């Protein structure tokens, strides 16, 4: 069961309130997305910790339901 | 049951410098993300132990619990979790993966 981009974006925004997030549907099949998440709260955190913040925002959907979500985290310029 | 899996994971990541928990194996990755991780390691000429989590449901869930990371593949270097395919790619592109391997004394071609 795929998730739609709006749902992913909403969850990430709720989980990381100050973030900017852009979702890209990589293949147009509703099952392969990329999420570009920029947030000041990533400051001082390792990539693993940053990605875990995104996983937590997705409330466990990151495993089977959301098979293919590439994640790119970054700090605000 | 879980301890058996955790014990095996601890054994694998301590006995092998580089371990990739993946879907499929190095010769036949069965998922785009796993395939990307294999390509990066092959590009770097790094020997690694590939563990196919598709062969054992307990390992597939066990490694996610062990690492507290919800996706596959997972890369371990010298017993330390490095990341999934996104982080592997990002570090590779930034030259950080090469640096990490060198720092840890892992032979890369």
The predicted-structure confidence for B27-81, as pLDDT tens digits, reads as follows 999 999 999 999 999 999 999 999 999 998 899 999 999 999 999 999 999 999 9
pTM: 0.92
Q: Are B18 and B106 in contact (CB under 8 A)?
A: yes
Give the ranges where B20-71 is alpha helix by DSSP (H).
32-43, 57-67
Question: Is A51 in Cβ contact with B87 (below 8 Å)?
Answer: yes
pLDDT at B109 over 70: no
Q: What is the reported pLDDT for B68?
A: 94
**Per the CB < 8 Å rule, is B86 touching A68?**
no
Q: What is the pLDDT of residue A65?
A: 65
What's the CA angle centered on A9, arms A6 and A12, to 5 degrees?
A: 150
Interface of B with A in 39-68 (CB under 8 A): 64, 68
Contact A51 B33 (CB under 8 A): no
**Where residue B107 falls among pLDDT bands split at 50, 70, 90?**
confident
Task: State residue A64's pLDDT score.
Answer: 61
Residue A14 vs residue A29, higher pLDDT: A14
CA distance A59 to A20: 18
* Domain layout of chain A by residue ranges: 5-74
- In contact, B86 and B58? CB cutoff 8 Å: no
The arithmetic mean of pLDDT across residues A52-56, rounded, is: 95
| Band of residue A26 on the pLDDT scale cut at 50, 70, 90 | confident
Provide the ipTM.
0.88
What's the pLDDT band for A2 if we cut at 50, 70, 90? low
Q: What confidence score (pLDDT) does residue B76 get?
A: 98
Residue B20 has pLDDT above 70, yes or no: yes
The phi and psi torsions of A60 (rounded to 5 degrees) equal 75, 0
CATH 3.90.1510.10 fits A5-74, yes or no: no
């Amino acid at each position: 069961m795929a998730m739609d981009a709006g749902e992913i974006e909403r969850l990430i925004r709720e989980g990381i309130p100050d973030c900017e997030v852009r979702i890209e549907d990589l293949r147009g099949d509703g099952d392969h997305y990329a999420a570009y998440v920029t947030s000041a709260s990533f400051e001082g955190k390792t990539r693993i910790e940053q990605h875990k913040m995104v996983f937590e925002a997705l409330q466990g959907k990151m495993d089977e339901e959301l098979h293919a979500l590439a994640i790119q985290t970054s700090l605000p310029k | 049951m879980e301890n058996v899996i955790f014990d095996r994971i601890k054994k694998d990541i301590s006995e092998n410098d580089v371990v990739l928990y993946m879907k499929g194996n190095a010769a036949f990755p069965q998922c785009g993300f796993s395939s990307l991780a294999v390509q990066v390691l092959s590009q770097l000429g790094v020997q690694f132990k590939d563990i196919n989590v598709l062969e054992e449901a307990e390992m597939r869930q066990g490694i996610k619990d062990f690492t507290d990371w919800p996706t596959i593949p997972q890369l371990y270097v010298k017993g330390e979790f490095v990341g999934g395919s996104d982080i592997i790619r990002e570090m590779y592109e930034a030259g950080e993966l090469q640096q990490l391997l060198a720092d840890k004394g892992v032979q890369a071609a």
